[in-house]
Amino acid sequence: MIAEPAHTDAPFSGPLQSAITYEKIPTNIYADAKAASRAVAHEIADLIRQRQGEGKPCILGLATGSSPKTVYAELIRMHREEGLSFRNVVSFNLDEYFPMEPDSLQSYWRFMREQLFDHVDIPAGNYHVPDGTLSPDQVAAFAKQYDQQIADAGGLDFQLLGIGGNGHIGFNEPGSLINSHTRLMMLDHSTRAAASVDFGGLPRTPRKAITMGVASILAAKRVVLLAWGERKAPVIASAVEGTVTETNPASYLQTHPNALFVIDEAAASDLTRMRTPWLVDSVTWDNAMKKKAVTYLSMTLQKPILKLTDRDYNDNGVSDLLAQYGQAYDINIDVFNQLQHTITGWPGGKPNADDTNRPERALPERKRVLIFSPHPDDDIISMGGTFQRLVDQGHDVHVGYQTSGNIAVADDEALRFADFVVDFNKQFGIDSPGATHIFQDAAAFLRTKKDSDRDIDELRYVKGVIRRGEAKSTCRFVGIPVENAHFMNLPFYETGKVEKKPLGEADIQITMELIEKIKPHQIYAAGDLADPHGTHKVCLDAILEAVKRLRRADPTPANFMNDCWVWLYRGAWAEWDIHEIEMAVPMSPDQVMKKRLGIFKHQSQKDGVVYQGTDAREFWQRAEERNRTTASRYNRLGLAEYEAMEAFVRWKG
């Protein structure tokens, strides 16, 4: 079961003391990015005030990217509500793309103004962002001058950092030297791939950036690095626990006397104290911890669970568990059985079967099922096999497509469709002014669109229609009536930009209305608890809030909502850890192939999509690998061998 994060501002009080054996950089773990950001913003505010008290300027090194946004938001709040003044702040930003115009949508100059400077009282001349408008031969002199300016200001009192998936700090990519200073840097492929989301594809993404060097960063009196979400977990673990190496520039912070990592639980998940807490301190051996330890032991020793011996437990730091539960034999059988019971070919419950040890109830035999799909293809990508089984087993399956997914359609794809409609109407003399204009306007806009232009409403509409058609096509393919596809178009998504609005009341209302209309016995939702900025997380928040409100409205059994189970699938690329899984739905080779064909219905998302990210594979390849990996993990633990499996966790909040 997934517990909701505890909303507390206190750092996570896990086995911190002995974690020091493993962790070479002080690391504070918070339940979520918000609580963590508050703590960092307060440290910055205290420093600003302290400097004010001394009549001195406060020299800040600032970062851009998604990580510091919540820190800046809290600083703005403190400025507005608590009178925090920035008049004595002098700031130097880490980096800027090169070349880059300051007013471009993607410029870091613009980012800083929008996220912080325009909302506080920092004097206009006090902030500095590397200049992306220089000619290449001017950069070296500029870089030298930038370092000199920082030194002349007295050096950085505080440096705020994010971290790239490859360990970069600023844009000091792997290979950067510890003594590097401000300079022009070639961006790593993975950095460009991550940034391509903001630039509308890799070809439009800059290849270079001006960045402060590692030495410039290490010279700061205090350095605080932020990281949110599980994508950052591996690089955080290697920076904090690994050796100092230029292949992970963040590891250089091990050499800094006053550095701190402030991260959320998801980004911490690969640290020893989270992954194998029993190696760090004494733990409470509840059932969840027991499953975690036994599956870990089995995987690490590459031995099926039923073959683990007392000696294996003792030699690998799990002797406490043995002491508590007796011999390995009993623990093995218990955990093995629990895993066995998660496997079912009947995700909607098996009629006329004893359901004591099955993940779902047998009754009612025919369930109403509501699958929520954040984007129009998440249903088939993440749970296509289960979707198909639910339909084949006679349940009344509906899909709630939460967002239009329109920004992920490439311009040339949209132009192809717009041209088709315009030409068709012309050919047949169809005079439907409203509709024709939408497509005509979209096509006209596309012919002159510049990289920095945001899509006009008409174009967003065309792109949304394309994705809706693909979703309907998948529904027909799986075998549900098209009326069972519900297009919710949640308003938080409709900004026309990568950055979305926060969850709003309208999003929750639309979600509640659909749930009330279907009155489902089962809800499936994308459970990306760990991605604080993503569309999936906002979509999940809308569902969980809607469910809570509907439950609260009438706590009696008469309320359908109290008989509705919520299953979470993993929407993005990660899968649930094996010890967390509560329902695993196997797929045969034929079913895997059928799911692949279902994913193919999303033609606009094939062949080099706009938001490819760092993984160059197509969605069907990623989905298949993930489902095969889950099956192979079960098999390696000693359970039956399946071709592939989709995994779910039940939300009981």
> Which residues are known catalytic residues?
173
Q: Nearer Cβ to ligand F6R, position 163 or 218?
A: 163
Q: Nearer Cβ to ligand F6R, position 164 or 405?
A: 164
**Contact in structure between 231 and 190 (CB atoms under 8 Å):** no
Least distance in Å: CB of 164 to ligand F6R? Answer: 4
* b/e map 31-55, b = 16+ CB within 10 Å: bbbbbbbbbbbebbbebbeebbeee
Q: Nearer Cβ to ligand F6R, position 61 or 520?
A: 61
Q: How crowded is residue 445: how many other Cβ atoms within 10 Å of its Cβ?
A: 19
Least distance in Å: CB of 111 to ligand F6R? Answer: 8
Cβ-based neighbours of 350, under 8 Å, separated by 6 or more: 344, 358, 360, 362
Least distance in Å: CB of 95 to ligand F6R? Answer: 5
At 385, which amino acid appears? G
Cis peptide before 130 (omega within 30 of 0): no
DSSP 8-state code for residue 649 = E
Least distance in Å: CB of 260 to ligand F6R? Answer: 16
Rg from Cα positions in the chain? 27
Q: Nearer Cβ to ligand F6R, position 95 or 241?
A: 95
Least distance in Å: CB of 358 to ligand F6R? Answer: 41
Least distance in Å: CB of 226 to ligand F6R? Answer: 7
Q: Nearer Cβ to ligand F6R, position 63 or 587?
A: 63
CA distance 576 to 579: 8
- Burial class, 71, CB count within 10 angstroms (exposed 0-12 / middle 13-18 / buried 19+): buried
Q: Nearer Cβ to ligand F6R, position 210 or 639?
A: 210
Least distance in Å: CB of 245 to ligand F6R? Answer: 17
Cβ-based neighbours of 271, under 8 Å, separated by 6 or more: 19, 22, 23, 27, 29, 236, 237, 240, 241
Least distance in Å: CB of 65 to ligand F6R? Answer: 3
Alpha helices in 430-585 (DSSP H): 433-448, 457-478, 505-518, 535-553
Q: Nearer Cβ to ligand F6R, position 64 or 591?
A: 64
- Burial class, 320, CB count within 10 angstroms (exposed 0-12 / middle 13-18 / buried 19+): middle
**Contact in structure between 389 and 350 (CB atoms under 8 Å):** no
Q: 182, 293, 169: which is closest to 235 by C-alpha?
A: 169
Q: Nearer Cβ to ligand F6R, position 64 or 440?
A: 64
486: helix, strand or coil: strand
188: helix, strand or coil: coil
Which DSSP string corresponds to 223-254?
EEEEE-SGGGHHHHHHHHHS---TTSGGGGGG
CA distance 551 to 400: 19
**What distance separates the 2 farthest-apart alpha carbons in the chain?**
83
Instruction: For residue 275, give both structure tokens.
Output: 């992954």
Sheet with 183-186, side-by-side order of all strands: 95-98, 208-211, 183-186
* b/e map 527-562, b = 16+ CB within 10 Å: bbbbbbbbbbbbbbbbbbbbbeebeeeeeeeeebbe
Least distance in Å: CB of 223 to ligand F6R? Answer: 13
Where do contacts with ligand F6R occur on this chain (CB under 6 A)? 63-67, 94-95, 162-164, 168-171
> Residue holding tokens 């940034």?
195
Least distance in Å: CB of 456 to ligand F6R? Answer: 27
The three state secondary structure string of 207-222 is: CEEEECCHHHHHCCCC
CA distance 389 to 345: 8
Q: Nearer Cβ to ligand F6R, position 30 or 565?
A: 30
Q: Nearer Cβ to ligand F6R, position 65 or 345?
A: 65
